Amino acid sequence: MLGFIAPTRPDWLPRVVRQLDEVLVDHAHCEKKAAGAAVSLLFRCAGYPSFLEPLSQLAGEELVHFRAVLGILAKRGIAFRRQRPSPYAGRLLRAARNFEPARLVDEFLCCALIEARSCERFRILADGLPDRELAHFYRGLLAAEARHHGVYVDLAAELMPRPEVRARLRELAEHEAQVLSEMPTLPRLHT
């Protein structure tokens, strides 16, 4: 279903497997940021009452994921700590248009792409990690992230006709692939 995003390069998995602790800490940060992004959109969307339920539900689910990753870290004796973040999300959002409602549409679609990329990476981890417990954990997150992708696309489609949303999603997906190709080789979910 997420075939519109450029596939991850084959060297990503071997690179992150070597520094899995770093990736798990990054994953916790990503879930926290995903919750924060949804909450900040809740504030932006005060004038769209029908957006409040899906965004608050999504924020709540991201916090559940955050706590689940914190649980994995605690079980493995890995400290949650500050980390140099991947510049991925910031660069992705630079493509957002600067007038409304196009800006909000683009922010929803950038969030949709981040969810799609997370989903793709979780699948790679679920299929490729030798650690069976972690592989199982990532398989369990796939459905939620794919659904979050759909929630954000549906929100964008409340603001603009769906064919326009689909066309813009394709444009932003090309930008996302470009951004990803320029990422530093840090052990992060989005590099």
Q: Using alpha carbons, select from 96, 67, 65 the residue that is nearest to residue 80.
A: 67
User: Which one, 102 or 126, has the nearer CB to Fe ion?
Assistant: 126
Instruction: Please tell me the number of Cα atoms within 13 Å of 82 on its side-chain side.
Output: 1
Classified as helix, coil or strand, 82 is: coil
Binds Fe ion (CB under 5 A): choice among 27, 29, 32, 148:
148
# of chain residues touching Fe ion (CB under 5 A):
7
Q: Which residue is it, tokens 């949804």?
A: 38
User: Which one, 26 or 31, has the nearer CB to Fe ion?
Assistant: 31
Rule CB under 5 A: is residue 121 a binding residue for Fe ion? Answer: no
Binds Fe ion (CB under 5 A): choice among 145, 156, 168, 169:
145
Site string for Fe ion, 80-119 (x = CB under 5 A): -----------------------------------x----
Supply the minimum distance, in Å, between the C-beta of residue 141 and Fe ion.
Answer: 6
**DSSP state, residue 161:** -
Rule CB under 5 A: is residue 65 a binding residue for Fe ion? Answer: yes
Q: Using alpha carbons, select from 78, 92, 189 the residue that is nearest to residue 138.
A: 189
- What is the amino acid identity at position 69? V
Stretches 32-40, 68-76, 126-134, 170-178: which one binds Fe ion (CB under 5 A)? 32-40
* CB contact set of 36 (below 8 Å; sequence gap of 6+): none
Q: Using alpha carbons, select from 93, 107, 94 the residue that is nearest to residue 44.
A: 107
Residues that bind Fe ion (CB under 5 A): 31, 34, 62, 65, 115, 145, 148
